[in-house]
Amino acid sequence: MLTHFVTSESVTEGHPDKLCDQISDGILDAYLEQDPKSRVAVEALVSLGAIFIAGEVTSSAEVDVPSVVKAVVREIGYTSQQSGLDIDDCLIFTNINTQSKFIARGVDADGQNVGAGDQGIMYGFACDESETYMPVTHTLATRLCMRLAEVRKSELLPWLFPDGKSQVTMAYENGIPSYISSIVVSAHHNDRISLRNVRESILNEVIYPVIDCSLLRRDTNININPAGTFSLGGPAADTGLTGRKIMVDTYGSVGRHGGGAFSGKDPTKVDRSAAYMARYVAKNIVASGLARRCEIALAYAIGRPEPEAISIDTFKTENIPVEIIKACAEDVFSFSVQNIITELELQKPQFLKSAAYGHFGREDQGFRWENTNRQLFLRESAAKHFMQRITD
């Protein structure tokens, strides 16, 4: 029996980097609400008592950026100095300029088809380990962080603050998830609660409600605030920046990543839109039974509407030849930038809710890239290609 270990981490919505992702996507949504064709590339940085917003925007919309920032931060729960940031006593700096005319020229190359807003390689991944076609370690780590937010906001554990992290290590036996070898949860808390109470409460109200006991063993290592007291957190303890949690945003170290972050970018930026499309295709391939694991790679050149290359890796789990799976994907899906934007409805405001707890596997959020509505078309295409082989 071959055993290997896979580890994934997640962070709460109040983690300083995630706070910045949500600020950036909150601003993007505000522009798209008024002007669906807005071109937006906005970054945020948070530190002790200050938020900095910078980027490029070309839009007919008029957005009160500081008001958007305050609404996002307040909703997350940063409303006191003790929490790590008091949004009502915080400096907000903005430096937003217009999009480069050279980038705009490439994106609007022929006046009809949208060209890619940058070059790059984007990946999408899916597997049959969980009901959402996501790696199970990423799913569990994400749910732990979501539970941290739930017990804080419901005041089940009212001494929690927004910052927090989780990590899950799973043992795989012969490629199949077998048991959890380690769980780590770090939660920012009020300094009046004892570390012992923190650990007992997180174990009973966060870990046990999320983790199936059948995945735990006597030697499973559970670490809760392993460094000790965590009473100084949020931007008061760590500077945050948009785009620093790219593996948390995607597949938790399991699928590859092209390196481009998502948040704060309108859909002409293929860092975001092509990654969503690649996930959509990979998920439908696995859901249709053509393979148990699938990774799609799309490469684009700035200003070009179609990808330079399309690659598929099924990690030897395919049920039909990989070259037929690739042909089926190209039959069923269009990979032009404009068609991706249209198919996945990427010009409507929806990105703030994608900016925490992962962009994928969120089937309750109405994201079009999580649909599995192309299964039948893929199977029909596969049957067509097999018949063609027979007749040839």
Instruction: Give the end of a domain, one of 232, 255, 279.
Output: 232
Domain containing 355 equals 120-128+269-391
The two beta strands, 176-189 and 221-224, are: parallel
Q: Let me know if residue 83 belongs to a domain.
A: no
Do 288 and 217 belong together in one domain?
no
Q: How confident is the model at residue 1 (pLDDT cuts 50, 70, 90)?
A: confident
Q: How confident is the model at residue 105 (pLDDT cuts 50, 70, 90)?
A: low
Give CA–CA dist 240/110, Å, rounded.
39
Does the reported pTM lie above 0.75? yes
C-alpha 32 chain-centroid distance: 20
Q: Are 385 and 324 in contact, with CB atoms under 8 Å apart? A: yes
Do 284 and 226 belong together in one domain?
no
Instruction: Give the end of a domain, one of 232, 255, 283.
Output: 232
CATH number for the domain harbouring residue 208: 3.30.300.10
Do 279 and 385 belong together in one domain?
yes
Q: What is residue 99's predicted lDDT score, i.e. its pLDDT?
A: 75
Do 329 and 380 belong together in one domain?
yes
Do 380 and 300 belong together in one domain?
yes
Q: How confident is the model at residue 118 (pLDDT cuts 50, 70, 90)?
A: confident
Q: Let me know if residue 246 belongs to a domain.
A: no
Give CA–CA dist 262/42, Å, rounded.
11
pLDDT exceeds cutoff 60 at 358 = yes
Do 124 and 171 belong together in one domain?
no
The domain tally of the chain equals: 2
Q: Let me know if residue 99 belongs to a domain.
A: no
Q: Let me know if residue 45 belongs to a domain.
A: no
